[in-house]
Amino acid sequence: MLPVLYTTVALTSSNQILAFSYSLQHSVDLEIGETLGSYVRYLWVGPISSISEHDLSYASSAWPVTIIHQILRRCPSLRALAIVNLAQHLLYRLEGIIPASVQSIHLGPVHGHLDLPKLRCEKQLQTITSMDTYLSDWEVHQIVTAPHVKCFRRFYSNPARISFAFDQLPCVKEAKSLERLEILCCADTVEVATLALREHASEYSGRADERIWLVATSSCFSTRADGIRALYHDWINELGKLVSESEEPINIGDRSMMLETVSAPLEKVRNLPLQDI
């Protein structure tokens, strides 16, 4: 039972981070002599909502960065990692300890620079999801031209800043290994997000590339916009892709919570439906 329980872990408060670190440090599966950290495949660190109460607000002193460092060191088989709401100036303290096994990373909002050559997981890392973060042209270029990155995803909790992602689309032409770049836009409804993507895409038809995809989704939960919750649901969706590649058990909770989206390649943006699915 223990392997299934510890496969997927979400640490949404400083107390949970401290308690989980203690468990990893002092617990062993007596049947096979493995530490609990060896079972962890999918790890979320940070709040799962922008509006619910939590102590891990952006740049909060409650963030136990040293403890998170210890947790990452004790999870040698981690495949997907999400670090949410961590102040951008603190990311450098964790990037060097991210396990070499990590294939997918979710970061944001307003995360720090991810220096790919410094990552132990550089050769395994296939998917990077960046939420609500301004990236310089050279940062985008470094990501999309990285030899092992297959998918780069720009996640926006509202349409206000998606133009930044469109402005940097020329970088994709130099990418040789990249298979997909997504601009994912959230709004109150899928229809509103779709209209925003269409409006911006019409100005960039000359930069169309079959690898560029536009994705529209809703960030409205119980009538309230919640960008971080939308990112959390997106993370759950992405875990499904990793799990389909293996036969390992996973406890990802209620699949009915997964995001509803519509998507289309940039070159066929007119095909994006204007009704919610």
Domain of 90, in residue numbers: 2-271
Q: Tell which phi-psi region holds residue 64, choosing left (phi > 0), alpha (psi between -120 and 50) or beta.
A: beta
Tell me how many domains the chain contains: 1
The confidence score (pLDDT) of residue 267 equals: 67
Using alpha carbons, select from 212, 209, 160 the residue that is nearest to residue 183.
Answer: 212
pLDDT tens for the chain, residues 1 to 277: 455 578 999 999 999 999 999 999 988 765 656 788 999 999 999 999 999 888 999 989 999 999 999 999 999 999 999 999 999 999 999 999 999 999 999 999 999 999 999 999 999 999 999 999 999 999 999 999 999 999 999 999 999 999 999 999 999 999 999 999 999 999 999 999 999 999 988 887 666 788 999 999 999 988 899 999 999 999 999 998 887 665 454 444 443 344 567 777 776 665 554 433 2
> Does some domain include residue 112?
yes
The confidence score (pLDDT) of residue 217 equals: 94
Q: Tell which phi-psi region holds residue 91, choosing left (phi > 0), alpha (psi between -120 and 50) or beta.
A: alpha
> Does some domain include residue 277?
no
> Does some domain include residue 170?
yes
- Beta-sheet strand order (sheet of 212-218): 8-11, 42-45, 80-84, 104-108, 127-131, 151-156, 180-187, 212-218, 261-265
> Does some domain include residue 123?
yes
CB 214 within 8 Å of CB 203: no
> Does some domain include residue 189?
yes
> Does some domain include residue 144?
yes
The confidence score (pLDDT) of residue 32 equals: 58
> Does some domain include residue 276?
no
Residue 200 host element (H or E): helix 190-201
Distance (Å, whole) CA 52 – CA 63: 17
Give the CATH number, domain containing residue 56: 3.80.10
